[in-house]
Amino acid sequence: MIELKQVNYQYPHSNTKTKTLNDINLTIKTGEWVTLLGSNGSGKSTLVKTFNGLIQPDSGEIRINDTLLTSEKIHHVRRQIGMVFQNPDNQFVGSTVESDIAFGLENIGMDHTQMHHRVEEVLRFVDLWDLRNNPPESLSGGQKQRTAIASALVSSPQILILDEATSMLDPEGRKHIMSLLQRIRREQNLTIVAITHNIEESLLSDRIILMHQGEIIQSGTPEEIFSQKDLLFELGLDIPVYEKINLQLKQLEINTPDHLITRESLMNWLWTFN
């Protein structure tokens, strides 16, 4: 579980009086998949970096699985969190895929036999075992991001944070990564916190949190959030393409359900329409 109470933060030497994070109160339950949505500069990336102490707030409390995040506990907390960023090239440290993934386990002094077993296990899980001896730079974009996810998973974290992890991928690569995340959620019951500008990806989450100018504006299911079209447009955000189709059907005076935000919901309704 992730708990934040009255968390505030302002970047040093900022030219604006608006706080980067303004009195954030947030609880993310164990096993929940949460998506943070908001325009650039809304505070999403800053927020997730407070979870493991990459950014230390000016005030407030952060608890990770009931552990208060302090300078004394920071290494313990970081062991529980895996992070995957936008550009996987910035995360690679090994000369091969296998050595890159083993790096974190070497740092904590894991037994070599146990480490080899764990690296093989996670590489097979992300379907990269056959590429274990390849240099990371030789991989495709999707394979690089799967390597980054494997590196985040190898230490068996309880929380996985993804900061625009699919934004540099083509549609096929993005599809594979989202399928992998669904499998991770299903088989490992990790808490997932994702930052994305991709509306379709956010539909997979249990809850969407809207951020604007360092504040949490709304929190709810995808259906609840995307029903607030005026608010989303005001914040510079879009709505799912299938909801756009639904709105166009309503303009044609076709009596459709209020919210058809996924392909499945639209197709199911079309099958019953006559």
Per-residue model confidence as pLDDT tens digits over 40-67 = 888 999 999 999 889 999 999 999 999 9
Q: Measured on CA atoms in the order 115, 116, 119, 121, is the torsion positive or negative?
A: negative
241-256: string of b/e by CB count within 10 Å (b at 16+)? ebbeebeebeeeeeeb
How high is the pLDDT of residue 39? 86
Of the candidates 219, 211, 273, 265, the one whose C-alpha atom is nearest the C-alpha of residue 240 is 265
Q: Which residues pair with 59 in a beta bridge?
A: 8
Q: Which residues contact 72 (CB under 8 A, 6 or more apart)?
A: none
Residue closest to 33 by CA, chosen among 260, 221, 226, 263: 221
Task: Give the pairing type, strands 59-64 and 67-68.
Answer: antiparallel
- Cβ contact 195:48 at 8 Å: yes
Rounded to 5°, the CA angle 173-179-182 comes to 145
Helix pair 141-153, 97-107: axis angle to 10 deg: 20
Q: What is the largest CA-CA distance in the chain?
A: 67
Single pTM value for the model: 0.85
- Model pLDDT, residue 60: 95
The string of pLDDT tens digits covering residues 3-44 is 999 999 998 877 777 789 999 999 999 999 999 998 888 899
Contact indicator for 250, 232 with CB cutoff of 8 Å: no
What residue segments make up the domains of the chain, in order of their start?
240-274
Q: Report the C-alpha gap between 269 and 274 in whole angstroms.
A: 10
Question: Tokens at residue 246, please?
Answer: 């639904």
Average pLDDT per 10 consecutive residues for the chain, totaling 274 residues:
94 79 94 92 92 92 93 89 86 87 82 89 92 91 90 90 86 86 88 88 91 93 87 82 70 68 69 67
What is the number of other CB atoms lying within 10 angstroms of the CB of residue 55?
16
Distance CA 169, CA 158 (A): 26
Per-residue pLDDT at 161: 94
pLDDT at 262: 66
Quote the pLDDT of residue 131.
93
**Which pLDDT belongs to residue 51?**
93
Q: Give the number of other CB atoms < 10 A from CB of residue 234.
A: 11
The two tokens of residue 222 are: 């995808």
Beta strand pairing status for 159-163 and 191-195? parallel
- Measure CA of the first residue to CA of the last residue in the chain; give whole Å: 47
CA dist., res. 196 & res. 88, Å (int):
16
- Please choose, from the candidates 79, 170, 156, the residue with its C-alpha nearest in 3D space to the C-alpha of residue 119: 156
